[in-house]
Amino acid sequence: MSHDARLPKRGTFITLEGGEGVGKSTQVRYLVARLQARGIKAIPTREPGGSPGAEILRDILLSGMIKDLGPKAEAIIFAAARMDHIDHTIAPALAAGTWVICDRFADSTRAYQGALGGLDPGFLRALERVTVADTRPDLTLILDLPADVGLARAAQRRGAAEASDRFEGEGLAFHEALRKAYLAIAAAEPERCVVVDASQSEEEVAQAIWDTISHRLFDAEPAMQAEALHGA
């Protein structure tokens, strides 16, 4: 499908955001399982990646190979990966009425390349306009955790043998600033973003996320749940 021929959106698009090791991938798995258990069609996906073309760009971006090109070029390549992901995975799923639960999305570019890379917000808005266009999240869950705790979790998951990737390898000050950048995004868009305390157990975080979805999506729009349940 070409970028200009995106299908109308009917499913619900939820993104999970936050710094390294806050538990995004874990919570994507919990949420997809819980939605599917209720008969709601839902798929997990991630950025960078989520489509064959974007996965190739993921390897390049996370290897650090193009770090020297600078944050502006990195932002453009993350956006190119996002465009392929939207065209081949996200937009078709939403058009089919499937919920899309995505580990990172455009807020990661705003935080990492924008706030931390010092890019002009106008440049990022223009990039989003041509890549994300109408495929904006209905709800963004920002998992919040002290940076040192998240980095320790990420290091434990990775194991001693494997090296940290391009961004995980940045210093603690970078990751503390990143946490603040995500909280600023949440404060600027409270109608879309909800901050979740990620210091709780996996099960407690999963329940907090479910309560948010029930409140924000199901209670607010009962028709949405009925539609999702009956695969309209």
Ligand X SMILES: Nc1ncnc2c1ncn2[C@@H]1O[C@H](COP(=O)(O)OP(=O)(O)OP(=O)(O)O)[C@@H](O)[C@H]1O
Does residue 167 belong to the site contacting ligand LXEULUCI (CB under 6 A)?
Answer: yes
Binding site partner of 167, from ligand X, ligand LXEULUCI, none, Cβ cut-off 5-8 A by kind: ligand LXEULUCI
Which residue is it, tokens 């010092």? 118
Known binding-site residue numbers for ATP: 18-25
Site for ligand X in 9-28 (CB under 6 A): 20-26
Assigned token pair, 130: 């041509």
Which residue is it, tokens 């907090």? 208
Residue 12 in contact with residue 224, Cβ under 8 Å? yes
- Find, among 73, 153, 135, 143, the residue nearest to 109 by Cα: 73
Site for ligand LXEULUCI in 68-97 (CB under 6 A): 78
Sheet holding 13-17, edge to edge: 42-46, 99-103, 13-17, 139-144, 193-197
Pick between residue 106 and residue 217 the one whose CB is nearest to ligand LXEULUCI: 106
Does residue 109 belong to the site contacting ligand LXEULUCI (CB under 6 A)?
Answer: yes
Residue 31 CA to residue 216 CA, distance in Å, equals: 15
Pick from 3, 38, 125, 157: which binds ligand X (CB under 6 A)?
Answer: 157
Contact footprint for ligand X (CB under 6 A):
20-26, 103, 153-154, 156-157, 201-202, 205
